[in-house]
Structure 1
Amino acid sequence: MAESHSEVLDTDDEDLDPDLTRPAPQSWRARNAIEMIVSGVVGLFTSFVLSIEAWRLASNPGLQLACDVNSVISCTTVANTWQARVLGFPNAFLGILFESVVLAISVAILSGVHFPRWYMLGVQALYTIGLAFALWLFFESYFVIHALCPWCLLITLTTTLVWAGLTRMNVRDSVIPAPPGARWFVASGNDWIITIAFLFILAMLIFVRYGITLLR
C-alpha cells in the first residue's frame, strides 16, 4: 500500500541534518545578527539623510537636492509628494524608529540574548509592516510618481535584508511555526536564493521601465 503523505514527510525529515533543524547555535545567531546590524546601520544612516533633506525642503521649497540626476532619478520629485509624508511628517522619521529598534535587538542577539517568543513575534510583525510600507513606497514611485529616489531605493534594499534576516532567525528558532524542512532550508542558507531573486526582480522592473534613461 502507498505510504501516506505524513509518512513521506516523516521519512524526509529523518534524512535532514539534525543540527540544522534544531534551534540555532549562538555562532549562527551571531553571524545572522551581524548581517542585520550592517543592513540596519546603512538603513539608519539613509533615514537620517532623508530626514535632513526633508528639513531642508521644508525650509526652502524651491530647493533642488544633490541627488537629483535627471527626471527619473530625482529625490526632490519624490520628497515633494504626499506619499513622502503619509502620516503628516517625513517617512524618514519612521525609518529612524524601525532601524533603531532592529539595531538594538540585533546587538542584543549578538551578545547572546534570547528574547521570549511573544517579543520576537511582535518584532516580526512590526518589521513586516515596515517592509510592506517600503515596498508600497517603491511601487508608488514606480507606477504613480514616475520618479525614483536613490536613498529610498537603498532603504527598500536594507529593509528587505533586515526582514529576511529576522525571518530567518525566527523560523530557525521556531518562533514562527515551521516544519523541520523549513528550518533546514534557512539554516542551510537557501533562503538567500529567494531574497536575491526578489531584489533582482525589483531591479529588473526598474531597468525594463527606464533602461538607459537612468544614466542620462
Structure 2
Amino acid sequence: MSHGPALSADATALTSTGSTDSARRTGLVMLLTGIAGWLASFQLTVDDWRLLRDPTYSPPCDISPVVSCGSVMSSAQGRVFGFPNMLLGLGAFAAVAVLGVAVLTGSRLGRGLWLALDAGALAGVVFVHWLIAQSLYELDRICPYCAGVWVSTIALFWYVTVHCLERGLLPAPRPVLTLVRESHWMLLVAWYGVIALLVLTRFWPYWSSLF
C-alpha cells in the first residue's frame, strides 16, 4: 500500500513528460512547416506579380515542360477563390509559425485553439490534395514551390492531429492511439511515398527520357 502514491506520482510524471515532449515536437513541426510554407508562398507571390507585370517573364522554377510554375500560377486552379492561392499561404503559414514559437516557448494553447488549428490544417490538406490531382491530371505540371507547400501542409496536419490524439483532444480507439504513438513518422513517410509514386508514374515517360 505504501508504494501506491509513489507509483501514481511516477505515472503522472511520465504522462506529463510525454505531453511536454509531444508539445515540443508539434511546436517544432509548426515552426518549420510555417517557415517553409511561407517562403514557398512568398516566392510564388513574387513570381506571380512579376508574371502579371510582364507576360514574357519566365520564373526560375520553369525548369522543363513538366517541372514548371508559370503555367500553374496563371491557371484557373491557381486562383480558386478569385485571387492567387499563395496569398492564403502567406497568412496561414505565418500564423502557424507564430503559434509554433509560442508552443516551443512554453505557452499552453487551449483545447479550442488546438482543434481549430487541426480543422484548418485538415481543410488545407483537402485543398492540397485537390491541387495535386489537378497538377498531375489536368495541368500536367509539377510546380516545385507548390510541392513545398504540399509537403509542409501534410506534415503540419499530421503532427497537429497526432498531438491532439495523444492529448485526448480527439477521440480514438486505443489501437489507433498505439499505432499513432509508435509509427507516426513511418505513416507520414508512407503518405509522402504514395504521392511521390503518383508523380513518378504520371510523368514516367519524361523522367525516363532524362537517363
Check whether TM > 0.5: yes
Give the TM interval when normalised to the shorter protein. 0.7 to 0.9
Are 1:33 and 1:109, in contact at CA under 8 Å, matched by a contact in 2? yes
Counterpart residue number, 2:103: 109
Q: Could you say what secondary structure the match of 2:176 adopts? A: helix
Q: Deviations over 1:106-133 (max 9, x none)?
A: 1111122222212211111111111111
Of 160, 170, 178, 1:166 maps to: 160
CA RMSD of aligned residues (A): 2.2
Partner of 1:208: 201
Within 5 A, what are the aligned runs for 1:59-208? 59-188=53-182, 190-208=183-201
**Cα separation, 2, equivalents of 1:192 and 1:74:** 30
Q: Structure 1, residues 4-30: CA drift from partner, whole Å, max 9, x if none?
A: xxxxxxxxxxxxx99887784323321
Which range moves more in the overlay, 59-68 or 81-90? Answer: 59-68
The answer on whether the counterparts of 1:26 and 1:112 sit within 8 Å (CA) in structure 2 is no
Give 1:168 deviation, angstroms.
Answer: 1.1
Verify the 8 A CA contact 1:24 1:173 in the aligned structure 2: no
Instruction: Please say if 1:52 is aligned against 2:46.
Output: yes
| Letter of the 1:41 counterpart | I
Structure 2 distance, partners of 1:53, 1:26, is 40
Please list every run of 5 or more consecutive structure 2 residues that lacks an aligned counterpart in the other structure. Answer: 1-10
**Unaligned stretches of 5+ in structure 1?**
1-16
Q: Mean alpha-carbon deviation: is it higher for 31-40 or for 41-50? A: 31-40
Q: Deviations over 1:27-80 (max 9, x none)?
A: 332133113311221111111101111111111122221111111111111111
1:6 is matched with none
Find the residue that maps to 1:27 and give its secondary structure: helix
The answer to whether the Cα contact below 8 Å between 2:22 and 2:163 also exists between their aligned partners in 1 is: no
Q: Contact between 1:20 and 1:183, CA under 8 Å: does it hold in 2?
A: no
Task: Report SS of the residue matched to 2:125.
Answer: helix
User: How many residues end up aligned between the 2 structures?
Assistant: 199
Task: Tell me the amino acid that sits aligned with residue 153 of structure 2.
Answer: T
Q: Is the 8 A contact 1:67 1:150 kept in 2?
A: yes
* Length-normalised TM-score, structure 2: 0.86
Q: Structure 2 CA distance, aligned partners of 1:57 and 1:185?
A: 46
- The TM-score with structure 1 as length reference comes to 0.84
Q: How has the CA–CA distance of structure 1 residues 86 and 27 changed in structure 2, closer, same or farther, with 3 Å as cutoff?
A: same
Q: Which has the higher contact order (CA 8 A, sep 6+)?
A: 1
Q: In 2, distance between residues paired with 1:183 and 1:199? A: 21
- Residue 27 of structure 1 is matched in structure 2 by 21
Change (3 A) 1:21 1:202: farther
Letter in 2 for 1:33: G
